[in-house]
Amino acid sequence: MRPVTTFRVIPKIPESIEKLRTLAYNLNWSWDYEAVSLIRRMDHDLWEEADHNPVKILGMISQERLDELSKDDGFLAHYRRVTEKFERYMQEPKWYDRHFGKKDAIIAYFSLEFGITEALPIYSGGLGILAGDHLKSASDLGIPLVGVGLLYQSGYFRQHLNYDGWQAESYPINDFYNMAVEEVKDQNGNNLVVSIDLSGRKVYAKAWLVNVGRVRLYLLDTNIPLNTGLDHDITDELYGGDNEKRIQQEMVLGIGGIRMLRQLGILPAVCHMNEGHSAFLGLERIRILMHEQKMTFKQAIEVVRAGGVFTTHTPVPAGIDVFPSDLMRKYFVDYAKELGISWDDFLALGADSYENRHNGFSMAALAFHLAERSNGVSKLHGHVSRNIFRYIWPGLPQEEIPITSITNGIHHRSWISHDVESLYYRYMGENWIQEPQNMNKKEHVDEIPDEELWRTHERRRERLVSFARKKLKKQLIRRGAPITEIKTAEEVLDPEILTIGFARRFATYKRADLILRHPDRLARILNNENTPVQIIFSGKAHPKDTPGKELIRELVHLSQREEFRKRIVFLEDYDIAIARYLVQGVDVWLNTPRRLYEASGTSGMKAAVNGVLNMSILDGWWDEAFKQGIGWAIGKVDEYSDINYQYDIEANAIYDLLEKEVIPLFYTRTDKLPRGWIHYMKESIRSLYPVFNTNRMVIEYTERCYNKAENRYSLVTQNNFENAKELARFKDNIAGKWAKIKIEDIRSDAEEKVMIGHCLTVLATVNLGEIHPDHVDLQVYHGLVDNTGMITDGVSDSLKDIRKLSDGKYEFSGCLNCTLSGMQGFSIRILPKNDLLENPFVPGLIKWAV
């Protein structure tokens, strides 16, 4: 029966504890152990039953219990501590305020998923967790930032394994009215709704607000009565559906997100695209500028690029959203007309070159074209990204491709166990928690007594084993396992032995099965009577990833063999809660991706802050973090053409490390303590804690991207956008004449041998046609020459002396300082030059000597 009237029932909270509602509706509680402790104190059983959701707890708890708490002196004292701490946090000046002054939101951070807490299930994995941690650190630092995403009716799937170990998926419906999300109202008190044109029809999306400390996260939801048919389902599932559902979601996120912010009166100077999913936002910003400021497309794109920041997380081309041309035509042919550009020019925005415009519309290419600042998420990934996307800047040496790197981090307070956090407070001071990026008194780590650090870690392992047993028992009961097998679950794992954790998405390239490659050898290692080892696995395979599902089934089958029954466990339905237990409780965090296939990885960082040691392939963040004495590197950086041989080499490297280094270090005891292991723990904390955190990461984004983009945006928009118009005129003018440039002659006084310190004279005769010499930068690009005859790690110097030879023809000259020995070489190139250019590497505008 459909109701004739709907209304929302909320608990009546006594006045003395009325701020419980404010605490519940701000996700700041998710990284404040004292706040979590207060909520658990209300009703510990409800905390578990409500999936750690304070809003749901307030809806489930009895009125009698609330009244009882309002008169409990102990609870009231705890309540006052938490609320006073929260109010100080929300009001006191933060890092950004002290360095740049207080500002309203000028940065909009767009992401398809946000992993903030298990109580808000709108995330799938690493990308979402990174986005959630980004918001938390932005709050801690006072960054003037708002988040924009989608509110999913089902979110990502819940994982269940059948008795054969095969993954099945379910999609529980999220009850928004029992989550920490609130409807956003417009000036008239009505729900704020935006509309998006999708293939000739209007689709509407309702705005919701999530408070993440001091940061506001706005989410859009299409499951509302204004929509009809399948349009309700656009925001149903995260990463569900086909290409058409994906393009619809990304239009709602990018285009709808910008429209929502404008209705809220938020006009960000900077838009940060966390992966290419939200890149349509740039098109919408262009459309608005053209409509409201009467700008041309080429003028508007200069403004949008100035305020655009793009972070790519993709290490392989296959991971990029690429939409077929016919699908783009269905949804954007009218949009292109509104932008005043041809369909071919529109498609070129999503291609690496105009010639390849019909090969599919790449969201990453669109993001690169609409952002002046782009980055990968580790140093190695920056190198990989420059290689993947080099075609956007044809002819440019890889090291000069304008994609930098800002290595990911984690939000420490969200992932450190309460036990370890207390330890840090006692021995290393508050700044270790509050300002990890500023931690410079590294010797404080040594002040932690070995015994106290070890006993603290042992307690976490004991809790992990207890949690894993309960979780496994529930899994087996749900699968209908025999009672004997269920009883065995109470005896799996051992709280006192070396414990390895492996948890991540079960994509084949992450190679969860690498350590299982030779079961007989692994069995001998795990079941050694004097030095036993155990492994806990967890992770989901994408619903359409059959090979990933097969990996899980093989792992489960292996774990049921007698020699592994008590030593290998798979915990299903991996989420933030399971991740927290694992990174806080294992001894070794195992990471085995194919090298160059993991952009960064952050789970190992979460483990490291808890004193857990990493054992990983040298990929992502570990490639730059690893050094002897803080963990272990699996294998070398060698790549073999035979993949099976590569896998064998690296699997055996794992076994060798375990047998010869890891296990002996763990079980060698002095005064009942593994002193060598504890030394590794301290060195790991000392080296990794201050660097691999989102405070450091967000500060880097602020200083290297946000503030520069804000200043750049201010520059091009001043004087009624005159600078943007001038830059567009310059590019348009020079682009039409660029093809006529000819480098006619190059001369130098180079001989076969040149002494170090010699100043080599270089002269180049160039026909610039109609281009004025002040509008070009003629450079000599030089460096060492490798055995293939190519310049490696080249640098450039401008030839600044100009002599006119005739109309359009000029001689450029200068000096090349020979500072390095070895085989050297140089070439000549011409780039556009204008004070308004952020960087001279404009795709298509570079001329090399041939």
pLDDT at 440: 59
Q: Which residues contact 362 (CB under 8 A, 6 or more apart)?
A: 276, 320, 321, 322, 350, 351, 352
Q: Which two tokens stand for residue 746?
A: 């190059």
Rg (CA), the chain: 29
Q: Which of 509, 517, 662, 652 is nearest to 589 (CA)?
A: 662
Are 790 and 838 in contact by the 8 Å Cβ rule? The answer is no
203, 298, 645, 650 from 832: Cα distances, Å: 43, 17, 49, 48
Q: Give the position of tokens 């960064």.
A: 600
pLDDT at 757: 62
- The span from the CA of 309 to the CA of 273, in Å, is 6
Q: Is 70 helix (H, G, I), strand (E, B) or coil?
A: coil
CB–CB of 145/105 below 8 Å?
A: yes
* Cα–Cα separations (whole angstroms), residue 265 to 186, 260, 268, 294, 573: 10, 9, 10, 21, 40
Nearest to 415 by CA among 125, 194, 51, 116: 116
pTM: 0.95
Between CA 153 and CA 287 the distance in angstroms is 30
> Any bridge partners for residue 114, and if so which?
122
Asked whether the beta carbons of 662 and 632 are under 8 A apart, the reply is: yes
pLDDT score at 6: 57
Name the residue type at position 353: S
CA distance between the termini of the chain: 77
Strands (E), 193-323: 193-198, 201-212, 215-221, 270-274, 308-311, 322-323
Q: List CB contacts of 598: < 8 A, sequence separation 6 or more.
A: 315, 509, 510, 591, 617, 619, 620
For 104, 283, 418, 656, the CA distances from 74, given in Å and listed in that order, are: 39, 56, 21, 54
Q: Given this model, what pLDDT does residue 779 score?
A: 94
Angle among Cα 163, 165, 166 to the nearest 5 degrees reads: 105
Residue 100 confidence (pLDDT): 92
pLDDT in tens, 431-457: 777 777 776 555 688 899 999 999 999
Sort strands 776-785 and 824-832 into parallel, antiparallel or unpaired.
antiparallel
Looking at the chain, how many residues does it have? 850
Q: How far is CA 509 from CA 503, 512, 647, in A?
A: 14, 8, 11
Element at 293 (helix H, strand E): helix 280-293
Q: Specify whether the CB–CB gap between 785 and 792 falls below 8 A.
A: yes
User: Residue 441: its pLDDT value, please?
Assistant: 55
The per-residue pLDDT for range 42-60, each reduced to its tens digit, is 999 999 999 999 999 999 9
How is residue 693 annotated by DSSP?
A: B
CA distance 299 to 306: 11
Q: What is the pLDDT of residues 291-333, one digit of tens each?
A: 999 999 999 999 999 999 999 999 888 889 999 999 999 999 9
Separation in Å, CA 610 to CA 122, 381, 460:
26, 25, 10
CA distance 688 to 777: 42
Q: What residues contact 104, with CB distance under 8 A and at least 6 apart?
A: 144, 266
* Pairwise CA distance, residues 413 & 609, whole Å: 10
CA distance 232 to 801: 65
Q: Which two tokens stand for residue 517?
A: 């490659």
Question: Which parts of the chain register pLDDT below 50?
Answer: none
Name 816's bridge partners. 760
Q: What is the dihedral of CA 350, 352, 356, 360, to 10 degrees?
A: -40
Distances (CA, A) of 741 to 230, 744, 765: 54, 9, 11
Helix (H) or strand (E) holding 269: none
Looking from the CA of 712 toward its CB, the CA atoms found within 13 Å total 25
Structure tokens at 4: 């004739």
Residue in the structure block whose two tokens are 């180049």? 764
